[in-house]
């Protein structure tokens, strides 16, 4: 989604502010009267102290009203305050921090004054492009994007010539800082964009290293779609009395993305994928796969089926990645098969369907994946493929999005054929309403149709059918063949559900029985990890033994439940050992150990 479209999308969000209210408009004062013959309506950006040059730039780009996150962030950032912002992608947050930072830059300084850290190259490039677009009224302002996969020497040369704003990925920024080619002594502002994604990708230690090297007096701005404990800890350590802005999506906005799941055994996933694309595929589709190898397998299969497909994974060179995204944006490619890391930062408005071919590793990744569709106020669809054993994780994803994930069956031949007919009808309707760009061509085509109709003695209906056949091509439009395996899958699912219900009843019966008391020399503790975190007894034993020095055989009974576990440990543990266990992490979650009641 472009920033211009984000400005228009301000009616679908609600704002929670814990910092300060928006500035009031200036009171009217009758000092003198001026007659204005014609005037443009005042921009909604005029009340935040922005310069005339920036306001003209925004007006030229068609920006009229700030989005909710911009209204909330502008006053705080213009005052130089630190800020923590929680908002989904597509809400206008790039402009929310870029415009105030541009206005607070000082002229004449050769070293960078603002640094923006982004988790991926694609996002870094997009943010840098946004800064350049907003600074059109300041021709001498220089913006540089630094990221891996490109020439290091050209970046050094640009930094030596002088740069006002640097946008980069943590790794490449660290490289420049260590080599002394990026001077941060004059840095006034730092932005952490999509901090939760940097955490998930393992960059958080790099981010902390960068923060530790910066001047003591600086403004820090942190934006994140979710707020896991690690990001909260980061903000408390490095931000000083920050303003907090939270943009909560209204129900109607969240429901713009229809979420569905398909339970399909592993051997049938590729066949089910092709059927979903035939039945639901729109103008733009992103398919998320877990590994590079799977992206290639999926892409090859879809290409063999006649689809226009591109691949985006960590092995794709940077220049090719940029061309791939542009092909998707322009419509020369309709389907992109990507890994999570490679697709971060993608902002392509025409994406109507996101398919999670593989279950994401965590709920934050799922939120970011489906956020690639339903942008600019449009509707979108997200389909999640799950194997029978993965269905129990759907509840976690529903909690993360606040929306239900509907069950969906693998489309049969009837649904696929209806989808193909609907798309053909849409194309035909659009073609009937369109005119050829050249009037001469239009006349020549009409003459050609009349000549063919006369030579072959064709009626208008026969001529139209011939044109349709030409558009469809030699392959059959309607799908035929055996789809009995879908019915078998449904029966197997029903049988599996009945077995699961019986097992759940057995587990409830076991839970109702009183738990066996710990042994006399043991104390029972509760830890806040469980089945939802995919934890196993071995994970707990290894982590606790490594932290406390206890031998594994000294750790007693372990009971794992959905969202917590019970562990029996020797009585009389020293207080310092017990304290260290509270912050111990297992499966990327803190144990938060406490004595069980």
DSSP string, 15-65: EEESS-PPPPPPPP--S-----S--PPPPTTGGG---HHHHHHHHHTT--S
Residue 13 has pLDDT above 60, yes or no: no
pLDDT in tens, 381-404: 999 999 888 888 888 888 878 788
Across residues 214-219, what is the average pLDDT?
91
pLDDT in tens, 304-352: 888 889 998 878 877 788 888 888 888 888 899 998 766 766 777 788 8
Cα distance between the two ends of the chain: 51
Across residues 42-46, what is the average pLDDT?
74
Q: Among 95-109, 110-124, 132-146, 576-590, which stretch is predicted with the lowest mean pLDDT?
A: 576-590
What percent of the chain stands above pLDDT 90?
23
What is the C-alpha separation between 535 and 150, in angstroms, rounded? 40
> Where on the phi/psi map is residue 62: left (φ > 0), alpha (ψ -120 to 50), or beta?
left
Q: What is the pTM of this model?
A: 0.51
What local confidence, expressed as pLDDT, does residue 355 receive? Answer: 93
Domains and CATH numbers, the chain: 3-25+37-249 (3.40.50.300), 255-412 (3.40.50.300), 416-472 (no CATH), 522-595 (3.30.70.330)
Across residues 251-274, what is the average pLDDT?
80
The pLDDT confidence band at residue 37, using thresholds 50, 70 and 90, is very low
Residue 36 has pLDDT above 80, yes or no: no
What local confidence, expressed as pLDDT, does residue 248 receive? Answer: 66
Could you list the beta-strand ranges (E) of 277-388.
Answer: 285-288, 309-312, 335-338, 353-356, 380-386
Which strands form 114-117's sheet, in the order they lie side by side?
13-17, 243-249, 83-86, 219-224, 189-192, 114-117, 165-168, 143-146
Place of tokens 């050829």: 436
The pLDDT confidence band at residue 584, using thresholds 50, 70 and 90, is confident
Question: Higher-confidence residue: 128 or 61?
Answer: 128
Question: Higher-confidence residue: 570 or 361?
Answer: 570
What local confidence, expressed as pLDDT, does residue 111 receive? Answer: 92
Among 101, 100, 94, residue whose Cα is nearest residue 67? 94
The pLDDT confidence band at residue 361, using thresholds 50, 70 and 90, is low
What local confidence, expressed as pLDDT, does residue 485 receive? Answer: 61
What local confidence, expressed as pLDDT, does residue 385 receive? Answer: 94
CB 138 within 8 A of CB 53: yes
Question: Higher-confidence residue: 121 or 218?
Answer: 218
Kindly report the average pLDDT of the chain as a whole number: 79
Q: Among 109-113, 363-367, 421-425, 485-489, which stretch is predicted with the lowest mean pLDDT?
A: 485-489
What local confidence, expressed as pLDDT, does residue 133 receive? Answer: 87
What percent of the chain stands above pLDDT 70?
82
pLDDT in tens, 132-170: 988 887 778 899 999 987 888 999 999 999 999 999 999
What is the C-alpha separation between 386 and 293, in angstroms, rounded? 19
What local confidence, expressed as pLDDT, does residue 414 receive? Answer: 81
């Amino acid at each position: 989604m472009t920033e211009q479209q984000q400005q228009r999308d301000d009616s679908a969000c609600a704002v929670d502010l814990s910092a300060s209210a928006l500035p009031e408009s200036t009171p009217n004062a009758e000092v003198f009267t001026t007659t204005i013959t014609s005037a443009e309506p005042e921009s909604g950006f005029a009340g935040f102290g922005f310069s005339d040059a920036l306001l003209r730039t925004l007006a030229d780009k068609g920006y009229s009203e700030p989005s909710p996150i911009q209204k909330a962030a502008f006053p705080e950032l213009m005052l130089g305050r630190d800020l923590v912002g929680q908002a989904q992608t597509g809400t206008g947050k790039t402009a929310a921090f870029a415009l105030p930072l541009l206005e607070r830059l000082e002229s004449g300084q050769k070293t960078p004054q603002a640094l923006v850290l982004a988790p991926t190259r694609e996002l870094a490039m997009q943010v840098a492009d946004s800064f350049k677009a907003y600074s059109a009224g300041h021709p001498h302002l220089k913006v540089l994007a630094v990221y891996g996969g490109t020439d290091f020497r050209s970046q050094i040369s640009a930094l030596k010539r002088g740069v006002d704003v640097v946008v980069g990925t943590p790794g490449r920024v660290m490289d420049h800082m260590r080599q002394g080619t990026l001077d941060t002594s004059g840095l006034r502002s730092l932005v952490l964009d999509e901090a939760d994604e940097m955490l998930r990708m393992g960059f958080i230690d790099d981010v902390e290293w960068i923060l530790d090297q910066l001047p003591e007096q600086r403004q820090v701005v942190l934006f994140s779609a979710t707020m896991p404990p690690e990001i909260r800890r980061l903000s408390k350590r490095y931000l000083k009395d920050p303003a907090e802005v939270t943009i909560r999506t209204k129900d109607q906005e969240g429901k713009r993305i229809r979420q569905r799941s398909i339970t399909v055994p592993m051997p049938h996933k590729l066949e089910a994928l092709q059927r979903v694309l035939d039945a639901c595929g729109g103008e733009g589709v992103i398919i998320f796969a877990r590994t590079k190898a799977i992206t290639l397998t999926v892409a090859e299969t879809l290409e063999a089926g006649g689809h226009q497909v591109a691949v985006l994974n960590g092995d794709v060179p940077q220049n090719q990645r940029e061309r791939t995204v542009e092909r998707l944006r322009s419509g020369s490619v309709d389907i992109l098969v990507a890994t999570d890391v490679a697709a971060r930062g993608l902002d392509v408005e025409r994406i109507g369907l996101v398919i999670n071919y593989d279950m994401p590793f965590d709920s934050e990744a799922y939120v970011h994946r489906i956020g690639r569709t339903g942008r600019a106020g449009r509707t979108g669809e997200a389909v999640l493929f799950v194997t029978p054993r993965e269905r129990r994780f759907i509840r976690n994803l529903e909690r993360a999005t606040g929306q239900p994930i509907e069950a969906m069956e693998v489309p049969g031949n009837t649904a696929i054929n209806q989808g193909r007919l609907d798309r053909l009808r849409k194309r035909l309707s659009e073609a009937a309403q369109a005119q050829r760009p050249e009037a001469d061509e239009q006349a020549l085509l009409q003459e050609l149709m009349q000549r063919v109709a006369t030579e072959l003695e064709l009626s208008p209906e026969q001529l139209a059918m011939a044109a349709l056949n030409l558009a469809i091509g030699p392959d059959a439009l309607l799908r035929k063949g055996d789809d009995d395996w879908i019915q078998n899958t449904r029966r197997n699912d029903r049988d599996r559900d009945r077995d699961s219900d019986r097992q759940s009843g057995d587990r409830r019966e076991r839970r109702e029985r009183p738990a066996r008391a710990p042994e006399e020399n043991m104390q029972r503790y509760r830890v806040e990890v469980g089945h939802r975190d995919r934890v196993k007894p071995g994970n707990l034993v290894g982590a606790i033994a490594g932290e406390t020095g206890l031998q594994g055989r000294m750790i007693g009974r372990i009971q794992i439940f959905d969202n917590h576990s019970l562990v029996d440990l020797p009585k009389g543990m020293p207080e310092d050992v017990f304290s260290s266990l509270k912050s111990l992490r297992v499966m990327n979650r803190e144990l938060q150990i406490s004595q069980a009641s």
